[in-house]
Amino acid sequence: MLLPKALKKGDTIGVIAPASPPNMNRLRNAIPFFTYLGLCVKLGKNIEKVHGYLAGTDEERLADFHDMIADDAINAIIFSRGGYGTGRFVDAIDYDLIAKNPKIIWGYSDITYLHTAIRQKTGLVTFHGPMLASDVADPDFDSISATSFLQLVEPTPLQYNECISQLEVLVEGEGTGTLVGGNLALLTSTLGTEYEIDTKGKILLLEDIDEQPYRVDSMLNQLRLAGKLEQAAGIIIGDFANAEPKSEPSLTLDEVFQHYLGGVSVPVMSGFKIGHCFPHFAVPLGVPATLKTIDKTLSIMPGVTNT
């Protein structure tokens, strides 16, 4: 486990678009949030590029990422948005460069592919949390989501409980392991590749957006057949926004979760406000975590260090 250094006032965050192009007005509207925290912001040189549904070519997006990693003046990289595209250049990333320059890397959704690849190639802890154009600039951006960024300043353990949202126990028990996962569709797309998600003995986070129940069914079935569900030490179900069926008849999303996760031999809880939602409780990936259904808590070790 490689912990990045905590931020301090005056540090600089680099902002790039590794997937889809951001709305630049929304991105710029988000910058004052970080300056209020005492941080400087530097935009990637290619962040305004557009190449179809991508924020520039693969080479341009990768160049921005490598530039931010190599730049000693950049203390953290917080992505502008997700969308689609990080998996297109994941095999061209210089992982030795990341290991030699460990710094905060923060985002979610399509960024799940980067989180998984970086952690499994380098051991670096990264962060699943709200991004500038897609979240910070949203009118619904709330205090819990905003406060989540403070974990980058002080190495404080986190605990998720029912003070944040109502939680439902699907399978009772207690499990401890490294917290991994993220967007379900992206995790499924790693299967059969060099970057296949490793869930053995891990606490697995699952979340997604705009996927109908039959699509969630298909992806969970693929994880089941690959042995990824039973290998986990625990499973937490985050937010699945806009997951209503578009045609009838259909299973409900809860019925799908019950079918695939209700019979596993590890603890499972749902209802976590982690994902495409507000509040969005940000979490470090790659650190030890403990899931306890008896008191409905998820306890997570800090993701940064002061040393």
User: Catalytic residue numbers?
Assistant: 109, 207, 276
DSSP state of 134: I
Q: Where do we find the tokens 């790693």? A: 190
Q: Where do we find the tokens 């486990």? A: 1
Cα separation values, 163 from 117, 279, 284, Å: 33, 12, 20
- Burial degree of 110 (CB within 10 A; 0-12, 13-18, 19+): buried
| Whole-angstrom distance, CA of residue 136 vs CA of residue 141 | 6
| Whole-angstrom distance, CA of residue 27 vs CA of residue 21 | 11
Q: What ranges in 226-264 are assigned the alpha helix state H?
A: 228-231, 253-261
Q: Which two tokens stand for residue 71?
A: 């730049």
